A and B are shown apart, each in its own frame.
Chain A
Amino acid sequence: MSKAAELAALIGGQKALGHKNLVKNGAMVVAQRATSVSGNTAGGIKTVDRMNPEISSAGTWTQSQSTDVPSGQGFVNSFKLDCTTADASLSAGDVCILGYRFEGLELQRLNYGTSGAKNIVLSFWVKTNKTGNYVVNFQNIVTGGTNRTCGKVYTVSQANTWQKVEFPIAADTVAGIDNDNALTAIMYWWLASGTTYTSGTLSNTWENTTNANIAAGLNVNLADSTDNEWYITGIQLEEGDVATAFEHEDYSTTLAKCQRYTATLGGLILPKMRESDRMRANTYKFPTTMRAAPTIPAMTDGSSISVIVQSISTEACFCYTTVPADGYGSEISSGTVISAEL
């Protein structure tokens, strides 16, 4: 490609527009729920937004937002998994994985399933005390068809040292990506696995998913000692063949992106709606339109009176309570986490 063509492509591409990274919160700066949660045996997003460990009978873990980062790269946070109860003997189906879930709407620019499908490249920084071969893979969940997978082995040869990993992923012209808000693709970082997912041969190009191949090449069990810990930051998935520098963005931009999936309710006032039974009610508008109507934890107002959540949409919820007498305040303080996660 000529320099002029390269420039034209750059100007017209997502990279020039400042939205090259398909991963939200790749720098691990947003943690709306908590910064550290211990006792994880089943995974789920508990701390850093969008970072979703999946654990099945593979030890007990503390997940946290860490300040241990690669120096000189502009990062201030990483995501950490720390083994607190070991499992040195994994059964076939046991796993410990970090997952990142995509909705299809986010990936349409890749044109998968067409002759115009685009190459992409995943890059991230990783650090662990446990050396060996790890696996990262990408899965396309094909509705009504066969799921597709490709993966890469990366080697950690120096313990306790940050390293950058790059994983070029050739375009998949076979299977498209559903154009909807449902779970459509997952990126997995494999940290421990039984033979169900490791007994085959890993493919670094797209193939129909075979469980035995998914994590083949993984030769460590990060769950085998309570000394083990694993850090990751700077996750970036972008169009192209070569990873570029991580796209840092301001905190508010990252937070706004995360609020499509998780947000916090706070400062909700329930003014008088009806005198006969002292009903207080209000509609609370969410910070942004969410992926789906969110789940909302049971809440109480400032007088410890239960608040009933009525209708919930992707944009707002309607709440009410009835107070025993005039003079009761009906204010919900901040900190209630609502979720429309994949």
Chain B
Amino acid sequence: MDITAAQNIADIHGSGENVSVKATIDGIEIYVPLDPDNTEYAEILRQVAAGTLTIADAD
């Protein structure tokens, strides 16, 4: 799984919390839920922990 970009998506209701991650995985832009059971999010967490990926702040 080739993850080349990741950015948090903030709650539009103003809670200040992030609600998903917009990432580019294998060349495709996708929205990834903050669910550890989601295969892509689990990989994002693994790469962040390994220091090979940084999730950018939300706009």
Contact = CB atoms under 8 A, between A and B. Distances in A.
Contacts of B29: 297-298
Contact of A291 (B28, B32, B37): B37
Interface stretch (A29-37, A160-168, A310-318): A310-318
Interface string B9-37: 10110000001101000001111111101
Nearest to B23: A295
A312 B20 contact: yes
Nearest to A313: B33
A297 B9 contact: no
B20 A292 contact: no
A342 B43 CA distance: 12
A300 B19 CA distance: 19
Interface string B36-54: 0111110000000000000
Contacts of A181: 37
A308 B58 CA distance: 12
A296 interface: yes
B17 to A, nearest CB: 10
Contacts of A311: 11, 19-20, 33
B11 A295 contact: no
Given A295-B31, A310-B11, A342 B19 contact: no
Contact of A320 (B12, B32, B33, B34): B12
Contact of A310 (B20, B32, B37, B41): B20
A238 B36 CA distance: 30
A293 B33 contact: yes
A181 B41 CA distance: 15
A342 B22 CA distance: 20
Contacts of A314: 35
Contact of B30 (A292, A295, A320): A295
Contact of B38 (A293, A297, A298, A309): A293
A309 B35 contact: no
Contacts of A293: 33-35, 37-38
Interface of A: 181-182, 291-298, 308-314, 320, 339-342
Closest 8 A-B residue pairs measured CB to CB?
A293-B33, A292-B37, A312-B33, A309-B31, A293-B35, A298-B29, A311-B19, A296-B31
Given A309-B22, A312-B31, 9 more contacts: A181-B37, A295-B30, A295-B38, A297-B30, A298-B28, A298-B30, A308-B9, A312-B19, A312-B35
